[in-house]
Every structure is written in C-alpha cells, then in structure tokens.
Amino acid sequence: MTIPVLLDCDPGHDDVFAIWLAAGHPEIDLRAITTVGGNGTLAHTTHNARVVCSLAGITGVPIAAGADHPLVRALNPAAHIHGANALGGPRLPEPTLDTDPRPALELIRDTLDAATEPVVVIATGPLTNIALFLRSFPDRTGKIREIVWMGGSTGRGNATPYAEFNSWADPEAAAAVVAAGLPFTMVGLNVTHQVLATAEVLERIAAIGNRTSAFGVELLRFFNSTYEVAEGMPAAPLHDPVTVALTAVPGLVQTVHTRLDVELTGTETAGATSVDLHGTLRRPPNAHVATNVDVAAFWRLLEDAIRTLN
C-alpha cells in the first residue's frame, strides 16, 4: 500500500527536491500540491511548482495556490537565499501545467474527502495554509493521518539566531497547528543540516543524465552559492525533502516524542521552537521531533526518485 500524501510548499530550491522525491518514490502517492507565500511571493512559489512539475513530467497532480501572506504578519521572502523569483539560478522554462481552479483550502478538503484512508500532509513552508484549513474545516481533521513539517530546530535558527525561517515567517500558524492535537512531526535544522549538497552529491545527481537531474544541479549550484555568502556554508543543506524521506521510509529519520511549543512574542525569539528534550517543563509530549537522519540512504533515495522522472 502506498502512502497518500498532500504536499504544501513554497518552492524554493529545496521544496523542488521534496516535490520530485514525493512524485518519484514508489511508496508515496502524491495526491495534490498546494502553495503558500514563504521563500517567495505566492505568485512565484505557485509558478515555480508548475515549472518543476512540468519539467519533470509530473502530471495528474493538481496544484493550487493558497495564502499569500502569514496569518497576522507581513510576508518577508528569503530572496537572499532563493533569489528574487524564489528559484534563482537556471532559466526557468515555461510551464505546461496550469493551476487548479480551486483555492488551496478547497483542494485540501477535496483531496481528503476523496481519499479512502487518512492522508499524510507534508508541509515544507510556513504553516499558514494548514492553520487556515484546520480553522475552516475542523470536521476534516480525522482524514489527516499526520502532519510532517520542515521547520523549527532543537537548537539555533537561520532567520534569526533562535528561529528557523518557516517558523519565523508565520509563528502564529505554526503554534496553531501544533496546538490542534493532530499527530505532528517536526523536521528541523538540527537534522536537515546533516544533508549537505556537496560537490560529490552534485556529481552523482548530474550522472543520472536526465533533464530533471541537469536542472536540479543548476538549482543546487545557485543554492550553494547563496548559502556560502549568507552562512559560510559552501554546501547548502537540502532541508525540505527530508520530510518526504521520513514519510516514505520508516527509520531513515530518527525521532523522539517530546514537548514542542512555538514562541510568539519575544523580541529576539519570535518563531523559535521550544523543544523540551529533557522534560524540564513537565508538559505532556505533543510532537515527534527529528533528531538524526541516515545521510547516505537519504541521497540514494533522492537519486532513485530523480531517475524515474523526465
């Protein structure tokens, strides 16, 4: 049995590889893609999703646009990392796929309603769409098996010293989704920084030899260049597809069941994820939090998925 998945994303270089892994892994049944403002404006993230699905030959997966700004804050795209169009580097081909006429919340609802078993919602951007959906359709929560989110960190951040970008971009949404009581897994920087797009990785992806791999290498070269300037990392961490790997292959990513809270008001800490690994606060566990990843297995998984695409 394959795992039905809805992917909510803000492409974004690393979101692209999450899309490709979800579409190319045999254990994942990618039912829908929804987009949100985050790494770029909603217009750019939606266009980018159409581009990378068209290029890779991913068809039959509806793409719908969602929230163009966070719940209560202004949108602050990560242009210094992803470029002005959120997918800097290669020349983007014109997409052949259109967006679905339904807004994202309706597509999420319809995808859940059509499923004969609960759906895993993988979110690789700010959690705005998911928070809005849970608020708008509380009667559909039983159709969600789990929410797996790339966001947060058990340690330091990247948007601020304490907050990871997806959590910092819309902390109110992150807090609301965590508080909803659904099964929730956080894949944070402490794990995704183990998965680095080194020169060897780029060579292996290039050797796949299809159109998708060539485009992916261009993306990673740009991504590496911006990370080197911004964070002194010549090999960028490929955050988002770790969520898909966790969903597809049990055990590839190790997690602990612990307490997770999202800071909302601190001058320096808004968006920080408080992960109580040692039970200091004596609050009941409410989330699974990723702690480690099998790096070699992850890259093999991603390469195998890209081989299945155009």
Q: Give the CATH number for residue 31.
A: 3.90.245.10
What is the per-residue DSSP string for 93-145?
PPPSPPPPSS-HHHHHHHHHHH-SSPEEEEE-S-SHHHHHHHHH-GGGGGGEE
State phi, psi for 149 to the nearest 5 degrees: -120, 130
* Listed residue (5, 7, 14, 6) closest to 165, CA to CA: 14
pLDDT at 141 over 90: yes
Instruction: Note the pTM of the prediction, 2 decimals.
Output: 0.97
Residue 142 is predicted with a pLDDT of 96
Q: Is the confidence at residue 219, as pLDDT, over 90?
A: yes
For the annotated catalytic residues, the residue numbers are 239
CB 187 within 8 A of CB 147: no
Looking at residue 284, the DSSP 8-state letter turns out to be P
Share of the chain above pLDDT 70, in %: 100
Domain that holds residue 98: 3-307
Total domains in the fold of the chain: 1
Q: What is the 3-state secondary structure (H, E, C) of 19-85?
A: HHHHHHCCCEEEEEEEECCCCCCHHHHHHHHHHHHHHHCCCCCCEEECCCCCCCCCCCCCHHHHCCC
Q: What is the pLDDT of residues 266-289, one digit of tens each?
A: 888 999 999 999 999 999 999 999
What count of Cα atoms within 13 Å lies in the side-chain half-sphere of residue 261?
A: 12
> Does 1 have pLDDT greater than 90?
no
Q: Evaluate if residue 304 carries a pLDDT over 90.
A: yes
pLDDT at 228: 97
At residue 41, the pLDDT reads 98
* C-alpha 231: how far from chain center: 20
Q: What is the pLDDT of residue 144?
A: 98
Amino acid (1-letter code) at residue 206? A
How far out from the chain centre does Cα 47 lie? 16
Interval 94-136: pLDDT, tens:
999 999 999 999 999 999 999 999 999 999 999 999 999 999 9
| 157, pLDDT greater than 90 | yes
pLDDT interval class at 38 (50, 70, 90): very high
Token representation of residue 234: 């010549």
Residues 27-47, mean pLDDT to the nearest whole number: 98
